[in-house]
């Protein structure tokens, strides 16, 4: 009887220890999850801008990753792992951008990501590392991502570089995303480049003829390349940036960038 009692006590003890162990593991790494509107914004943006079966072309398509989207539209990327939580309280550890995409795409109206464990590190678009300690920090990161400094963050701005051409029209190769369109090859995509052809004249000013404000359809030399993408808009052999009053033609002198001489 004594032996049976001993076995019973040992069993209970082992069970209790195991339970404790298990409970400890299921407590999400003892990390404090915080409700984050910024995270909801980002996760929703990823979901909305990622390709789906019904919408194969999107801002993030043709091989562009979540990191590309985050870099261009929020000016940072996560340094993984990060721990996120769903609105039902369950948590998930994210180890790379592919996992983040999966989680974002899987969100529904009833089950969605809405919490994150602070602090975590991010890599800013300029390469620096920043620690995000709380929701205020997090919100500051995405709202300070404002290429044209007009007070509207890139993710909310329909014309990121304020060159009068909407972001979605700066998709020159029309593959569904403006991320890979960089006409002058300077590493800054057209939708965030205020001088798309790098001729020294801002895109917004390459409206020489009718001054109607519509830069996109201005093609002074009718060579099929609009002025803002043409480094020699009047095809006179002199780059626009150096073009001033050399040939006596008042029309093409406007290509010197001043727009009024
Ligand atoms: Ca802006
Ligand atoms: Ca633009
Ligand atoms: Ca560029
Ligand atoms: Ca230009």
Q: What is the mean pLDDT of the chain?
A: 84
Residues 168 and 123 in one domain: no
Ligand 4 centroid – CA 245 distance (Å): 18
Phi, psi (degrees; rounded to nearest 5) at 220 = -55, -40
Residues 77 and 176 in one domain: no
Residues 69 and 138 in one domain: yes
Ligand 1 centroid – CA 237 distance (Å): 35
Contact present, 209 and 220 (Cβ < 8 Å): yes
The ligand placed nearest to the CA atom of residue 183 is 3
Q: By CB neighbour count within 10 A (0-12 exposed, 13-18 middle, 19+ buried), where does 210 fall?
A: exposed
**Residue 180 belongs to what domain range?**
159-261
The ligand placed nearest to the CA atom of residue 188 is 3
Ligand 1 centroid – CA 148 distance (Å): 5
Ligand 3 centroid – CA 179 distance (Å): 11
3-class SS of residue 241: helix
Residue where one domain finishes, among candidates 145, 172, 193 = 145
First vs last C-alpha separation in the chain: 109
Q: What is the pTM of this model?
A: 0.78
Q: Quick count: other Cβ atoms within 10 Å of Cβ 7?
A: 10
Ligand 4 centroid – CA 242 distance (Å): 12
Contact present, 259 and 207 (Cβ < 8 Å): yes
Residues 174 and 249 in one domain: yes
161 versus 234: the higher-pLDDT residue is 161
Classify residue 232: in a domain, yes or no.
yes
The percent of residues in the chain predicted with pLDDT above 70, rounded, is 80
Confidence of residue 3 (pLDDT cuts 50, 70, 90): low
* Domain count of the fold of the chain: 2
**pLDDT of res. 218:** 86
User: What are the pLDDT digits (tens) for 190-239?
Assistant: 999 999 999 999 999 888 766 666 888 888 888 999 899 999 888 888 88
Confidence of residue 175 (pLDDT cuts 50, 70, 90): confident
Residues 141 and 205 in one domain: no
**pLDDT of res. 54:** 78
Classify residue 14: in a domain, yes or no.
no
Residues 222 and 261 in one domain: yes
Classify residue 202: in a domain, yes or no.
yes
User: What are the pLDDT digits (tens) for 65-93?
Assistant: 899 999 999 999 999 999 999 999 999 99
Sign of CA dihedral 48, 51, 56, 60: positive
Residue 247 token pair: 């040939």
The ligand placed nearest to the CA atom of residue 225 is 4
Rounded distance, CA 131 to CA 119, Å? 7
Ligand 2 centroid – CA 242 distance (Å): 24
For the cut 90, the answer to whether the pLDDT of residue 94 exceeds it is yes
Q: Quick count: other Cβ atoms within 10 Å of Cβ 76?
A: 25
Residues 43 and 141 in one domain: yes
């Amino acid at each position: 009887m004594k032996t049976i009692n001993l076995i019973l006590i040992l069993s209970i003890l082992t069970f209790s220890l195991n339970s404790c162990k298990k409970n400890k593991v299921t407590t999400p790494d003892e990390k404090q999850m915080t409700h984050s509107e910024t995270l909801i914004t980002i996760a929703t943006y990823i979901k909305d801008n990622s390709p789906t079966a019904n919408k194969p072309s999107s801002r993030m398509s043709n091989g562009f990753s979540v990191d590309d989207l985050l870099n261009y539209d929020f000016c940072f990327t996560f340094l993984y792992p990060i721990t996120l939580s769903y609105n039902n309280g369950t948590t998930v550890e994210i180890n790379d951008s592919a996992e983040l995409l999966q989680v974002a795409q899987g969100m529904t109206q009833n089950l969605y990501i809405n919490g994150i464990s602070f602090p975590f590190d991010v890599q800013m678009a300029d390469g620096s590392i920043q620690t995000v300690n709380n929701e205020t920090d997090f919100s500051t990161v995405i709202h300070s991502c404002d290429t044209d400094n007009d007070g509207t963050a890139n993710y909310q701005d329909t014309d990121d570089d304020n060159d009068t051409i909407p972001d979605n029209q700066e998709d020159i190769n029309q593959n569904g995303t403006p991320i890979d369109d960089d006409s002058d090859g300077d590493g800054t995509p057209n939708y965030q480049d205020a001088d798309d052809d790098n001729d020294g004249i801002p895109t917004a000013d390459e409206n020489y003829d009718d001054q109607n404000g519509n830069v996109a359809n201005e093609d002074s030399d009718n060579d099929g390349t609009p002025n803002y993408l043409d480094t020699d808009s009047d095809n006179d052999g002199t780059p626009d940036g150096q073009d001033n009053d050399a040939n006596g033609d008042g029309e093409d002198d406007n290509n010197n960038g001043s727009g009024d001489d």
